[in-house]
Amino acid sequence: MSESRDDLELAEEAFAFLQGVLPDNISISNKSKIPNLTADQAWTVLWYLGNQYWQVPDTIERCDVCGDLFDSNKEGGYTDSGPPYHFCAAHDYLRPHDPDCCCPDCEEAREALKEEPS
């Protein structure tokens, strides 16, 4: 019996597959049939499947700073004052409290976002 995988692990596998990385248990002999999307294109497919067909839980998000997927029920954060809008746990410190906040933490976050490589 195979081990149970959570929604994030399944989404990460699909995200990688859409970029041409085959899971260990999958074999496709005709290499021209293996998708080879960019990370942005692959995320758009996952987003569409989640929003239109509910095949990917809506808690799976993509960090707008580093591009990693994360489960928003377990980590990270969101802001309406972006872009960026979604932040994984590693970059959640960059999320301002709100767009008009001028506390030292928010000012520091805004400065750090200017310096983050995209």
Q: 23 with 58: CB under 8 angstroms? A: no
- Quick: pLDDT tens for 48-88: 999 898 889 989 999 998 999 999 999 998 887 767 789 99
Q: Supply the pLDDT for residue 116.
A: 58
Q: How confident is the model at residue 3 (pLDDT cuts 50, 70, 90)?
A: low
- Cβ neighbour number for residue 94 with a 10 Å cutoff: 22
pLDDT of residue 89: 92
63, 87 Cβ separation under 8 angstroms: yes
- What is the reported pLDDT for 100? 67
Whole-prediction pTM: 0.75
Among all chains, which residue has been given the structure tokens 């995988």? 5
β-pair type (86-87, 77-78): antiparallel
What token pair was written down for 117?
Answer: 């490589």
Q: What is the pLDDT of residue 15?
A: 97
Q: Which two tokens stand for residue 93?
A: 């410190």
